[in-house]
Structure 1
């Protein structure tokens, strides 16, 4: 019997991984901000610009790429780690 998960579970897994990664980055930012609260208005503007650049230039493109790849899969049961392609894991 081949173990695997369906496409919906792969999408949920990918979303969960990105949420965990984003929460970790947010945690690092908050800790850094609390350690040095000078120029908070500048830091908010800077963080907003970095977030928007990351979203537009990286995350949005990766989201569409991986979602389309998962939706094109023909197998009913897929490896639970196949929500990323090999290049993304490396």
Structure 2
């Protein structure tokens, strides 16, 4: 892999993480960032760079990808993940 490609891939991963955390902040959803590239939302595991979504105690990945897929899973599991309180 060339150095330029590696830098582009790293930059894309950073941008996807920023986009995901901004989106979650806007929705008021509590999450933890597990370095280097995972977000943990209650039982939900999300990797912004690939869009992959898994849920604890489930086998395999969810068929949905990206923030649209994450929104579907958040709706489905409503009440099983902590939401940040308004201040």
TM-score norm. by structure 2 comes to 0.31
Higher strand share: 2
Higher helix share: 1
TM-score norm. by structure 1 comes to 0.30
Greater RCO (Cα-Cα under 8 Å, separation 6 or more)? 1
Which one has the largest radius of gyration?
1
